[in-house]
Amino acid sequence: MRGEKGILKFVMEERIPLIGESFPAMEVVTTRGKLALPDVYRGKWFVLFSHPADFTPVCTTEFHGFQEKAKDFAELNCELIGMSIDQVFSHIKWLEWIKEKLGVEITFPVIADDTGKVASRLGLIHPGKGTNTVRAVFIVDPQGVIRAILYYPQELGRNMDEIVRMVRGLQVSDANGVAIPANWPQNTLIGEKVIIPPAQDVETAAKRPQEYECYDWWFCHKKL
Protein backbone atom coordinates (compact mmCIF):
# COMPACT_ATOMS: atom_id res chain seq x y z
CA MET A 1 0.00 0.00 0.00
CA ARG A 2 1.09 3.55 -0.61
CA GLY A 3 2.09 5.65 2.36
CA GLU A 4 0.76 9.17 2.80
CA LYS A 5 3.80 10.68 1.08
CA GLY A 6 3.41 8.28 -1.85
CA ILE A 7 -0.26 9.18 -2.29
CA LEU A 8 0.53 12.89 -2.19
CA LYS A 9 3.29 12.46 -4.77
CA PHE A 10 0.90 10.54 -7.05
CA VAL A 11 -1.80 13.21 -6.76
CA MET A 12 0.67 16.04 -7.44
CA GLU A 13 2.01 14.25 -10.53
CA GLU A 14 -1.45 13.65 -11.97
CA ARG A 15 -3.05 17.04 -11.36
CA ILE A 16 -3.28 19.68 -14.05
CA PRO A 17 -0.39 22.16 -13.91
CA LEU A 18 -1.28 25.67 -12.78
CA ILE A 19 -0.88 29.06 -14.43
CA GLY A 20 2.49 30.46 -13.40
CA GLU A 21 4.13 27.04 -13.06
CA SER A 22 6.76 25.71 -15.44
CA PHE A 23 5.47 23.43 -18.16
CA PRO A 24 6.41 19.86 -17.12
CA ALA A 25 9.58 18.60 -18.80
CA MET A 26 8.87 15.59 -20.99
CA GLU A 27 9.93 13.87 -24.19
CA VAL A 28 7.07 13.32 -26.62
CA VAL A 29 6.59 11.33 -29.81
CA THR A 30 5.12 13.46 -32.60
CA THR A 31 4.42 13.41 -36.31
CA ARG A 32 7.66 15.40 -36.65
CA GLY A 33 9.78 13.05 -34.53
CA LYS A 34 10.64 13.10 -30.84
CA LEU A 35 10.61 16.48 -29.12
CA ALA A 36 11.72 17.58 -25.66
CA LEU A 37 9.14 19.91 -24.10
CA PRO A 38 9.36 22.72 -23.24
CA ASP A 39 13.05 23.04 -24.17
CA VAL A 40 12.52 22.61 -27.92
CA TYR A 41 10.56 25.87 -27.89
CA ARG A 42 12.85 27.77 -25.53
CA GLY A 43 12.89 31.41 -26.58
CA LYS A 44 9.50 31.08 -28.26
CA TRP A 45 5.89 31.01 -27.16
CA PHE A 46 3.99 27.82 -27.88
CA VAL A 47 0.38 26.69 -27.80
CA LEU A 48 -0.20 23.04 -26.97
CA PHE A 49 -3.76 21.93 -27.65
CA SER A 50 -5.32 18.52 -27.08
CA HIS A 51 -8.18 17.02 -29.05
CA PRO A 52 -10.39 14.02 -28.20
CA ALA A 53 -9.63 11.84 -31.24
CA ASP A 54 -8.48 11.68 -34.84
CA PHE A 55 -11.03 11.25 -37.64
CA THR A 56 -13.75 13.13 -35.76
CA PRO A 57 -15.63 16.10 -37.28
CA VAL A 58 -15.17 18.79 -34.62
CA CYS A 59 -11.47 18.00 -34.24
CA THR A 60 -11.05 18.13 -38.02
CA THR A 61 -12.55 21.63 -38.12
CA GLU A 62 -10.20 22.66 -35.32
CA PHE A 63 -7.06 21.42 -37.07
CA HIS A 64 -8.19 23.19 -40.23
CA GLY A 65 -8.78 26.33 -38.15
CA PHE A 66 -5.42 26.20 -36.35
CA GLN A 67 -3.58 25.73 -39.63
CA GLU A 68 -5.39 28.72 -41.12
CA LYS A 69 -4.05 30.80 -38.20
CA ALA A 70 -0.53 29.34 -38.30
CA LYS A 71 0.85 32.48 -39.96
CA ASP A 72 -0.72 34.70 -37.27
CA PHE A 73 0.88 32.58 -34.54
CA ALA A 74 4.23 32.60 -36.35
CA GLU A 75 4.17 36.41 -36.49
CA LEU A 76 3.86 36.33 -32.68
CA ASN A 77 6.91 34.03 -32.40
CA CYS A 78 4.53 31.28 -31.31
CA GLU A 79 4.57 27.61 -32.32
CA LEU A 80 1.63 25.21 -32.40
CA ILE A 81 1.64 21.60 -31.24
CA GLY A 82 -1.41 19.31 -31.10
CA MET A 83 -1.94 16.08 -29.19
CA SER A 84 -4.29 13.21 -28.47
CA ILE A 85 -3.98 9.64 -27.20
CA ASP A 86 -4.06 8.26 -30.76
CA GLN A 87 -1.05 6.45 -32.19
CA VAL A 88 1.31 8.26 -34.53
CA PHE A 89 0.22 6.29 -37.62
CA SER A 90 -3.38 7.41 -36.96
CA HIS A 91 -2.23 11.02 -36.79
CA ILE A 92 -0.29 10.66 -40.04
CA LYS A 93 -3.22 9.08 -41.88
CA TRP A 94 -5.65 11.70 -40.58
CA LEU A 95 -3.38 14.57 -41.60
CA GLU A 96 -3.06 12.97 -45.05
CA TRP A 97 -6.87 12.87 -45.24
CA ILE A 98 -7.11 16.56 -44.28
CA LYS A 99 -4.62 17.47 -46.99
CA GLU A 100 -6.32 15.33 -49.64
CA LYS A 101 -9.95 16.14 -48.85
CA LEU A 102 -9.72 19.69 -47.48
CA GLY A 103 -6.68 20.97 -49.33
CA VAL A 104 -4.85 22.03 -46.17
CA GLU A 105 -1.45 20.69 -45.10
CA ILE A 106 -0.94 20.59 -41.32
CA THR A 107 2.55 21.98 -40.76
CA PHE A 108 2.76 21.74 -36.96
CA PRO A 109 3.64 18.56 -35.00
CA VAL A 110 1.01 16.42 -33.30
CA ILE A 111 1.86 14.42 -30.18
CA ALA A 112 0.98 10.72 -30.28
CA ASP A 113 0.21 9.93 -26.64
CA ASP A 114 -1.02 6.36 -27.10
CA THR A 115 0.19 5.40 -23.61
CA GLY A 116 -1.73 8.28 -22.02
CA LYS A 117 1.31 9.43 -20.04
CA VAL A 118 1.35 12.97 -21.43
CA ALA A 119 -2.40 13.38 -20.96
CA SER A 120 -2.16 12.16 -17.37
CA ARG A 121 0.78 14.45 -16.68
CA LEU A 122 -1.19 17.45 -17.92
CA GLY A 123 -4.54 16.48 -16.39
CA LEU A 124 -6.26 16.04 -19.75
CA ILE A 125 -8.30 12.88 -19.08
CA HIS A 126 -11.78 13.69 -17.81
CA PRO A 127 -13.12 10.78 -15.72
CA GLY A 128 -16.61 11.30 -17.10
CA LYS A 129 -15.53 11.20 -20.75
CA GLY A 130 -13.80 7.84 -21.07
CA THR A 131 -10.16 7.77 -22.15
CA ASN A 132 -10.30 10.58 -24.71
CA THR A 133 -8.42 13.77 -24.00
CA VAL A 134 -10.46 16.90 -23.36
CA ARG A 135 -10.15 19.99 -25.56
CA ALA A 136 -7.52 21.88 -23.61
CA VAL A 137 -5.15 24.68 -24.52
CA PHE A 138 -1.88 25.56 -22.77
CA ILE A 139 -0.24 28.87 -23.68
CA VAL A 140 3.43 28.78 -22.67
CA ASP A 141 5.88 31.68 -22.76
CA PRO A 142 9.53 31.71 -23.95
CA GLN A 143 10.75 30.81 -20.45
CA GLY A 144 8.59 27.67 -20.43
CA VAL A 145 6.06 29.13 -17.97
CA ILE A 146 2.36 28.33 -18.39
CA ARG A 147 0.56 31.65 -18.87
CA ALA A 148 -2.99 30.54 -19.68
CA ILE A 149 -5.09 27.37 -19.73
CA LEU A 150 -8.40 26.80 -21.53
CA TYR A 151 -10.74 23.82 -21.12
CA TYR A 152 -13.56 23.04 -23.53
CA PRO A 153 -16.19 20.29 -23.50
CA GLN A 154 -15.93 17.72 -26.27
CA GLU A 155 -19.03 19.02 -28.04
CA LEU A 156 -17.73 22.61 -28.40
CA GLY A 157 -15.01 23.52 -30.87
CA ARG A 158 -12.48 26.21 -30.04
CA ASN A 159 -12.24 29.80 -31.27
CA MET A 160 -8.78 30.22 -32.80
CA ASP A 161 -9.08 34.00 -33.04
CA GLU A 162 -9.41 34.14 -29.25
CA ILE A 163 -6.29 32.03 -28.77
CA VAL A 164 -4.32 34.32 -31.10
CA ARG A 165 -5.73 37.31 -29.16
CA MET A 166 -4.62 35.78 -25.87
CA VAL A 167 -1.04 35.27 -27.04
CA ARG A 168 -0.92 38.81 -28.43
CA GLY A 169 -2.48 40.25 -25.28
CA LEU A 170 -0.05 38.47 -22.99
CA GLN A 171 2.87 39.75 -25.05
CA VAL A 172 1.56 43.32 -24.93
CA SER A 173 1.03 43.02 -21.18
CA ASP A 174 4.56 41.71 -20.63
CA ALA A 175 6.19 44.34 -22.82
CA ASN A 176 4.31 47.32 -21.40
CA GLY A 177 3.38 46.41 -17.83
CA VAL A 178 -0.33 46.89 -18.56
CA ALA A 179 -3.56 44.91 -18.30
CA ILE A 180 -5.73 43.96 -21.26
CA PRO A 181 -9.47 44.86 -21.28
CA ALA A 182 -12.35 42.63 -22.35
CA ASN A 183 -12.63 41.97 -26.08
CA TRP A 184 -9.39 43.87 -26.69
CA PRO A 185 -8.57 45.43 -29.10
CA GLN A 186 -12.25 46.21 -29.69
CA ASN A 187 -13.32 46.99 -26.14
CA THR A 188 -16.63 48.89 -26.02
CA LEU A 189 -15.35 51.35 -23.38
CA ILE A 190 -11.76 52.12 -24.34
CA GLY A 191 -11.30 50.54 -27.76
CA GLU A 192 -7.74 49.41 -28.44
CA LYS A 193 -6.30 51.17 -25.40
CA VAL A 194 -4.79 49.23 -22.51
CA ILE A 195 -5.33 49.53 -18.76
CA ILE A 196 -2.85 50.99 -16.30
CA PRO A 197 -2.49 48.78 -13.20
CA PRO A 198 -4.28 50.36 -10.19
CA ALA A 199 -2.26 52.66 -7.93
CA GLN A 200 -0.90 51.08 -4.76
CA ASP A 201 -0.62 54.22 -2.62
CA VAL A 202 -2.45 57.51 -2.01
CA GLU A 203 0.15 59.71 -3.70
CA THR A 204 0.15 57.70 -6.93
CA ALA A 205 -3.65 57.53 -6.92
CA ALA A 206 -3.87 61.33 -6.74
CA LYS A 207 -1.55 61.73 -9.74
CA ARG A 208 -3.25 59.21 -12.00
CA PRO A 209 -6.01 61.48 -13.44
CA GLN A 210 -3.33 64.02 -14.44
CA GLU A 211 -1.14 61.41 -16.09
CA TYR A 212 -3.68 59.28 -17.97
CA GLU A 213 -7.21 59.19 -19.26
CA CYS A 214 -9.30 57.88 -16.37
CA TYR A 215 -12.83 57.00 -15.37
CA ASP A 216 -11.44 57.19 -11.84
CA TRP A 217 -7.99 56.84 -10.25
CA TRP A 218 -8.31 53.04 -10.23
CA PHE A 219 -9.51 52.81 -13.86
CA CYS A 220 -7.00 54.57 -16.11
CA HIS A 221 -6.01 53.70 -19.64
CA LYS A 222 -3.68 54.74 -22.45
CA LYS A 223 -2.77 54.16 -26.06
CA LEU A 224 0.26 52.03 -26.75
Domain edges within the chain = 18-158, 177-224
- Dihedrals phi, psi of 57, to nearest 5 degrees: -65, -45
Q: Using one digit for the tens of pLDDT, what is the confidence trace for 67-126?
A: 999 999 999 999 999 999 999 999 999 999 999 999 999 999 999 999 999 999 998 887
HSE (CB half, 13 Å, CA atoms) of 193?
14
* 130 band by pLDDT with thresholds 50, 70 and 90: low
Handedness of CA 5, 6, 11, 12 (dihedral sign): positive
Mean of per-residue pLDDT scores for the chain:
92
* pLDDT given for residue 129 in this prediction: 62
Tell me if 7 sits within 8 A of 132, measured CB to CB: no
Indicate the helix (H) or strand (E) that contains 137: strand 135-140
pLDDT, mean of residues 60-70 = 98
What was the pLDDT predicted at 125? 82
Query: Mean pLDDT over residues 130-148, rounded?
Result: 91
pTM confidence score: 0.91
Q: How confident is the model at residue 134 (pLDDT cuts 50, 70, 90)?
A: confident
Contact 111, 82 (CB under 8 A): yes
Instruction: Judge whether residue 170 has pLDDT over 80.
Output: yes
Specify the amino acid at residue 158: R
**Side-chain-side CA neighbours of residue 161 (13 Å):** 3
The CATH homologous superfamily to which domain 177-224 belongs is: Antioxidant, Horf6; Chain A, domain2 (3.30.1020.10)
Residue 137: pLDDT band with limits 50, 70, 90:
very high
Minimum mean pLDDT among 117-126, 137-146, 161-170: which range? Answer: 117-126
Catalytic residues: 59
- Residue type, position 133, single letter: T
Q: How confident is the model at residue 12 (pLDDT cuts 50, 70, 90)?
A: very low
* CATH fourth-level superfamily of 18-158: Glutaredoxin (3.40.30.10)
Q: Rounded to whole angstroms, how far apart are CA atoms 160 and 218?
A: 32
